Amino acid sequence: MRQGRYWLDTWKHLIAYDSKRGAATVDIRSIAGTINMTKLIAGNWKMNGLLAGSVALAGGLAEKVKANPGLADVAICPPGPLIRDVLTAVDGSSIAVGGQDCHWNETGAHTGDTSATLLADMGCSCVIVGHSERRADHDETSDQVKAKAEAALKAGLVAIVCVGETEAERDTGQTETVVGRQIDGSLPGGATPQTVVIAYEPVWAIGTGRTPSLEEIEAVHAYIRNRARESHGLGSGLRILYGGSVKPGNAAEILSVEGVDGALVGGASLTVEDFWGIIESCP
């Protein structure tokens, strides 16, 4: 068994154990240093799926992961109302379950929102924050994303913080400026490689079937790593995922790019066959 898997299992166990005791935070830093041994493949289901199909998808994936341990750390982020059933469906496997968003407050009058505390209490291990669809559809600012990420850390969740440029920004040579600003503004205070994962997702590559060249991905990942080191003291131990039209057909080459520590997968995470094809492509 690879150390990365041990890390994930331990992490889930600690969270489950801790939430039983009702504690708000989980110390996952004690197992620092093993996080980068294995790629992280995270599925973002977005607003897709109904109950029965989602349980079948999660269960089918859990069977694959149990039968083929150690290929990658695997997380799935279903729509909020499905989390409990998905958690039950993956029980006994090493698959982590996460939210797609959280509020920055722990509780209160915020109709329609979900707190990081509740996600953790239910058994989630991570939460995506700052996805470009939330930045666009809900006008989320980097300040808000940062507050959400801080709430996630406080609840003991790993925050998967998304950044990425639009096509117009790339075409006008602003990729580094935009991504740099998002890194500076969105990463939570006190972030560590064990509590924060960055997902680089060029907006124009999401759901379009288009991806940057491998050289472009490598260059932006290197830029992000440097920037996160300068602004938040993060660097070599930090996981940086690539997201945007990752499919079984391109996963092997993307996941082999220097500085790519995994993938955040949308459309191709919606079938066992496609998502497993990506997991199997991990070098």
Q: Which residue is nearest to ligand PGA (CB)?
A: 266
**Subset of residues 15 to 54 that bind ligand PGA, contact rule: CB under 6 A:** 44
210: left (phi over 0), alpha (psi -120 to 50) or beta: beta
Quote the tokens at residue 131: 């996805």
Active site residue 280: no
3: Cβ–Cβ under 8 A, 6 or more apart, which residues? Answer: 34, 37, 38
Which residue among the candidates 133, 140, 165, 201 is catalytic per the annotation?
Answer: 201
Residues numbered 203 to 242 that lie near ligand PGA (CB under 6 A) are 206-207
DSSP letter for each residue of 16-28: HHHHHTT-S----
CA 273/CA 214 separation, integer angstroms: 24
**Of the two residues 188 and 244, which places its CB atom closer to ligand PGA in the complex?**
244
Q: Does 278 bind ligand PGA (CB under 6 A)?
A: no
Q: Would you call 13 a catalytic residue per the annotation?
A: no
Is 249 one of the binding residues for ligand PGA (CB under 6 A)?
no
State how far the alpha carbon of 176 is from the alpha carbons of 129, 188, 195, 224, in Å: 20, 20, 24, 8
Please report how close the Cβ of residue 270 comes to ligand PGA at its closest, in angstroms. Answer: 9
Minimum distance, C-beta of residue 120 to ligand PGA, in the bound complex (Å): 22
Among 94, 224, 266, 282, binds ligand PGA (CB under 6 A): 266
Residues in the chain: 283
* Residue-by-residue DSSP string for 210-245: ----HHHHHHHHHHHHHHHHHHHS--TT-EEEEESS
The residues in 148-207 that bind ligand PGA, with binding defined as CB under 6 A, are 201, 206-207
By CB under 6 A, the count of residues binding ligand PGA is 13
Q: Report the relative pairing of strands 40-44 and 262-265 from DSSP bridges.
A: parallel
Decide: is 114 part of the binding site for ligand PGA (CB under 6 A).
Answer: no
Residue 267 lies near ligand PGA (rule: CB under 6 A): yes
User: How far is residue 241's CA from residue 161's CA, in Å, rounded to a whole number?
Assistant: 10
Provide the minimum distance between the beta carbon of 154 and ligand PGA in the complex, in angstroms, as a whole number: 24
- Identify which range of 113-121, 228-236, 259-267, 273-281 contacts ligand PGA by CB under 6 A: 259-267
265 binds ligand PGA (CB under 6 A): yes
Query: Could you give the residue numbers annotated as active site?
Result: 131, 201
Q: Which residues bind ligand PGA (CB under 6 A)?
A: 44, 201, 206-207, 243-246, 264-268
